[in-house]
Amino acid sequence: MSLNAVITEQLRSLVASEGLGLVTTEMVGSGPTSILRLVVDGPDGVTLDQCSSISHQASALLDVEDPVAHGYTLEVSSPGLDRKLYSEDDFEHFSGHRVNVRMAPSFRQHRTVTGELEGYEDGIVSVKTDTGDRVDLPFDEIFEARLEIDWDQMMKKRKSNR
| Amino acid in position 53 | S
C-alpha–C-alpha distance, residues 25 and 107, integer Å: 26
Show the low-confidence residues of the chain (pLDDT under 50).
1
* pLDDT (0 to 100) of residue 157: 67
C-alpha radius of gyration, the chain, whole number? 18
* pLDDT (0 to 100) of residue 41: 93
Sketch out the chain's domains with CATH numbers: 5-77 (3.30.300.70), 88-153 (2.30.30.520)
* pLDDT (0 to 100) of residue 33: 83
